[in-house]
Amino acid sequence: MGYILKNSWALLLGMFLLMLGNGLQGTLLGVRGAIEGFSPTTMSWVMSAYFLGFLGGSRVTPRLIARVGHVRVFAALASLISAAFIIYAMLPDPYVWTAMRLLVGFSFSGVYVVAESWLNDSATNETRGQALSAYMIVQMSGLVLAQALLNFGDPSNFLLFAIISVLVSVSFAPILLSVSPAPVFHTAKPMSMAQLYRTSPLGSVGAFMLGGIYSLLFGMGVVYATAIGLDVGQISTFVGAVYLGGVLFQYPIGWASDRMDRRLLIVIITAFPAALLLLGILVTTDFYMLVTLSFVAGGAAGPLYSLLIAHANDYVKPEDMANVSGGLVFLNGVGAVATPVLVGMAMSRFGANAYFYAIVAFMTVIAAYGAFRMTRREAIPVEEMMSYTPVAPQSTPIAAEVAQEIAIEQFFEDDESTESP
């Protein structure tokens, strides 16, 4: 880990500041939108625009990098993010916010592509796993701590928007001033949707449904919190619990993933949380219960992304794993785009609890389909499964490909150690 910190500290520091800004902007918009009188339906369009932009950015950025290089793309996109954060405060209009969220999603996707390429290029085969772990820790730490920043200003005025703009502006200084050379960019072509479904039906359906869950947890969670009347401190705790759950459950679920039928594990970590969420909402709306439910939902959804990728990879050759992960990332993004709008409309018509009911519905579909798939195909023996490697939900296909490289290396290392006398 010392080697990673020595060679990539500038990148990790810059990403931490970026995640502080990104983590705060979504929560801040949800609170400010309620102050401005925007309905859940209106805010759902604003929140959905980020995921649409992110999906488009992951496709367009590689072409931009090929034309003008990493440094220029990174600097340009980070500057656009900083400017958009100021425009949020200057023009609190839903149409302007939707356009800015689209731009911010596009730009953050591109920034992640550049950062993840840089990180992968600076790591060796021996340190690549540590580099990805450090990157994930920095990302999730920034997102969790960002929620606390919501308490350092009044969401109705300019200060918090200025803070996130400054954080982003400062973030790319250590990266651009680093002596690290720009990496050679490459990415695998995602597998076609038809081929991906034939390869892993559960991985495909699960990734699509999980995209909907992510967009609700990381986009509409704050809209739900404002709709039920939580104050700023409570909102920061409620949203922070989602990220914290995703971090803390990564290791135990990853540990179990390498020791049992992954389809059964997928069923368990979707069925039980779905039942708990439904029971909790029906019994009480006590604040501490809501935080617990938020923590459970984040704890189930966070590791599920990596688990679905690992499950799909069990059925392909190592050389196809990058193509599979790219396809699953795309499916996840497609699932995230439309969900906030549909759930926002449901919240406006049927009440705020439609938020949790939608999460329960998505988790139930994954659990039911996982149980069905267990009857259609034999389980892969544990000793033949690829290693589980954590991938952050907000990562791009670059990080997913790096994770697959790590999984392949670990698989062959384990295979060699097993064959050794």
| 151-176 per-position pLDDT tens digit | 988 998 899 999 999 998 888 787 77
Which fold would CATH assign to domain 2-419?
Growth Hormone; Chain: A; (1.20.1250)
In the structure encoding, which two tokens stand for residue 10, read together? Answer: 């500038």
Identify which of 21-30, 117-126, 316-325 has the greatest average pLDDT: 21-30
Q: What value does the mean pLDDT of the chain take? A: 84
Decide if pLDDT at 401 tops 70. no
pLDDT value of position 126? 63
Average pLDDT over residues 100-105: 94
Q: How far is it, in rounded angstroms, from Cα 192 to Cα 259?
A: 30
Identify the pLDDT of residue 355: 94
pLDDT tens for 329-340 read 888 888 899 899
Mark 99-116 as b/e (b = at least 16 C-beta within 10 Å). bbbbbbbbbbbbbbbbbb
Q: How confident is the model at residue 389 (pLDDT cuts 50, 70, 90)?
A: confident
- pLDDT at res. 81: 92
Among candidate residues 138, 73, 136, 132, the one with its CA nearest the CA of residue 106: 73
Asked if 73 and 61 touch (Cβ cutoff 8 Å), the reply is yes
C-alpha count within 13 angstroms, C-beta hemisphere, residue 356:
29
Asked if pLDDT for residue 323 goes beyond 80, the answer is no
Which of 50, 22, 117, 17 lies closest to 396, judged by CA? 117
C-beta of residue 57 within 8 angstroms of C-beta of residue 110 = yes
Q: pLDDT above 70 covers what percent of the chain?
A: 85
Q: Position 241: which residue type?
A: A
Name the CA dihedral angle for 141, 147, 149, 152, rounded to a multiple of 10 degrees: -160
Q: For residue 350, give Cα distances in angstroms to 222, 296, 355, 357, 379.
A: 18, 24, 10, 11, 41
Locus of tokens 């704890």? 299
Q: Percent of the chain scored above 90 by pLDDT? A: 43
Q: What is the pLDDT of residue 173?
A: 80
pLDDT of residue 181: 58
User: What confidence tier does 40 reach under pLDDT thresholds 50, 70, 90?
Assistant: very high
Report whether pLDDT(409) > 90.
Answer: no
| Model pLDDT for residues 245-279, shown as the tens digit of each residue | 988 888 899 889 888 999 999 999 999 999 999 98
What DSSP string describes 244-259? Answer: HHHHHTHHHHHHHHTT
- Report the pLDDT value the prediction gives residue 67, as an integer from 0 to 100: 82
* 153's tokens: 């200003």
pLDDT at residue 118 in the model = 73
Cα–Cα–Cα angle for 284, 290, 294, rounded to 5 degrees? 140
* Cβ partners under 8 Å of residue 289, min gap 6: 280, 283
In this structure, what is the dihedral angle of CA atoms 127, 308, 110, 96, given to the nearest 10 degrees?
-140
Q: What's the pLDDT tens digit per position in 205-253?
A: 999 999 999 999 988 999 999 999 999 999 999 999 998 998 888 889 9
302, pLDDT greater than 90: no
Stronger pLDDT, 132 or 277, i.e. the higher one? 277
Report whether pLDDT(128) > 70.
Answer: no
More confident residue, 7 or 22: 22
